């Protein structure tokens, strides 16, 4: 995780506040952490700061984690930098926009129990997660998909996981035809890509 951008933003915005300096030290020492962990630490070290400052720091952290959700045309080897690596297996996470036939890849720094909710917030240009919880319909065209790559080949594709946070936390309900559309879009993304495929499992879960 490249934390330089986050650190620079915090220092530039609040150069003289000791609590922010402590937060920056924590970030530089740890280098890798979940967003919730970082916000919890920030609230823990707060010594009576103005509420506006507290919220501004949280906004900066949130924006850092929401950056990097980018649409991609086809599957290429350079996308492996976005992957979670488990042994010799690369695991890529996506949200497929079935309205515009776009495939958005989730960056490595976007992780945690609500990673797909955070990705949807970024794609839709929303203020925060609660916007989705209040109105799940706005995200129902964004279907979660996953690709597993092993030994240089795509081995598995999963379209929609029933425990995806958009469903379990955001209460998004997908139409079966949208799952079908996502299936076709992600298959084209792989088929026209630059990484060979030898599909052992292609799973499409019903909404």
Domain coordinates in residue numbering, the chain: 4-66, 70-204
Convert the pLDDT of each residue in 174-199 to its tens digit. Answer: 999 999 999 999 999 999 999 999 99
> What 3-state DSSP class applies to 80?
helix
Question: How far is Cα 78 from Cα 54, in angstroms, rounded to an integer?
Answer: 37
Question: How far is Cα 7 from Cα 198, in angstroms, rounded to an integer?
Answer: 42
Convert the pLDDT of each residue in 116-152 to its tens digit. Answer: 998 998 888 787 889 999 999 999 999 999 999 999 9
Convert the pLDDT of each residue in 60-116 to its tens digit. Answer: 887 777 666 878 999 999 898 888 888 888 999 999 999 999 999 998 778 778 899
Alpha-carbon torsion, ordered 81, 83, 84, 88, to 10 deg:
-90
Strand partners, 172: none
Distances (CA, A) of 148 to 2, 47, 97, 114, 154: 24, 45, 20, 20, 6
pLDDT at residue 178, rounded to an integer: 96
């Amino acid at each position: 995780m490249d934390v330089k951008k986050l650190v620079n933003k915090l220092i530039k915005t609040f150069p003289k506040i000791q609590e922010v300096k402590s937060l920056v030290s924590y970030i530089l020492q740890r280098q890798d952490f979940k967003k919730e962990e970082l916000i919890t630490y920030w609230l823990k070290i707060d010594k009576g700061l103005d509420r506006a400052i507290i919220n501004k720091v949280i906004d900066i952290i949130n924006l850092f984690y929401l950056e990097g959700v980018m649409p991609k045309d086809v599957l290429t080897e350079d996308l492996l930098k976005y992957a979670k690596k488990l042994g010799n297996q690369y695991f890529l996470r996506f949200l497929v926009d079935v309205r515009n036939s776009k495939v958005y890849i989730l960056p490595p720094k976007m992780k945690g129990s609500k990673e797909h909710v955070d990705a949807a917030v970024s794609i839709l240009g929303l203020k925060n997660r609660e916007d989705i919880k209040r109105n799940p319909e706005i995200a129902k065209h964004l279907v979660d998909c996953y690709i597993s790559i092993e030994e240089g080949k795509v081995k598995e594709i999963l379209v929609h996981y029933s425990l995806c946070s958009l469903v379990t936390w955001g209460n998004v309900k997908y139409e079966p035809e949208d799952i079908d559309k996502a299936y076709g879009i992600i298959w084209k993304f792989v088929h026209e890509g630059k990484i060979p495929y030898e599909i052992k499992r292609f799973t499409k879960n019903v909404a």
